[in-house]
């Protein structure tokens, strides 16, 4: 089965609000996590990654938080824009022999 799972299949947010997409993992030995974004009609695109020696990592308008105690990670998108509409995937390559195994993702839609 999957080693990571997104909590919600869909998420709708108001434009300008912050978005939080949550993901749980099962393997306490996992040491590396990745987030991908897939816009309609395109291949997935790497957003950000985090290693288990960190609790937080920031990119441009995105922040990933890692809580190893409860085996949970989240992707936060600040000031959500229409261009953020996409399906978001979290992945745990450690548990899949260094491959990226995608689940079904969370579809983020933006309300104007």
Partner 1 sequence: DTGVSQNPRHKITKRGQNVTFRCDPISEHNRLYWYRQTLGQGPEFLTYFQNEAQLEKSRLLSDRFSAERPKGSFSTLEIQRTEQGDSAMYLCASSLTSNTGELFFGEGSRLTVL
Task: Point out which residues bind partner 1 (CB under 8 A).
Answer: 32, 34, 41-46, 49, 87, 89, 91, 93, 96-105
DSSP string spanning 25-87?
E--TT--EEEEEEE-TTS--EEEEEEETT-SEEE-SSEEEEEETTTTEEEEEESS--GGG-EE
> How far is the first Cα of the chain from the last one, in angstroms, to the nearest whole number?
37
Q: Which is nearer to partner 1, 63 or 96 (CB)?
A: 96
Q: How far is the CB of 95 from partner 1 (least distance, A)?
A: 13
Q: How far is the CB of 45 from partner 1 (least distance, A)?
A: 7
Q: How far is the CB of 98 from partner 1 (least distance, A)?
A: 5
Q: Which is nearer to partner 1, 9 or 16 (CB)?
A: 9
Q: Are 96 and 37 in contact (CB under 8 A)?
A: no
Q: Which is nearer to partner 1, 29 or 97 (CB)?
A: 97
């Amino acid at each position: 089965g999957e080693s990571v799972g997104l909590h919600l299949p869909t998420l709708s947010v108001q434009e300008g609000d912050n978005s939080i997409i949550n993901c749980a993992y099962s393997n306490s030995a996992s040491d590396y996590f990745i987030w991908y974004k897939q816009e309609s009609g395109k291949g997935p695109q790497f957003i950000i990654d985090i290693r288990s020696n960190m609790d937080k990592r920031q990119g441009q308008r995105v922040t990933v938080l890692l809580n190893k105690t409860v085996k949970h990670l989240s992707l936060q998108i600040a000031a959500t824009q229409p261009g953020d509409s996409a399906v978001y995937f979290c992945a745990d390559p450690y548990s899949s022999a260094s491959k990226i195994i995608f689940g079904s993702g969370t579809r983020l839609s933006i309300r104007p």
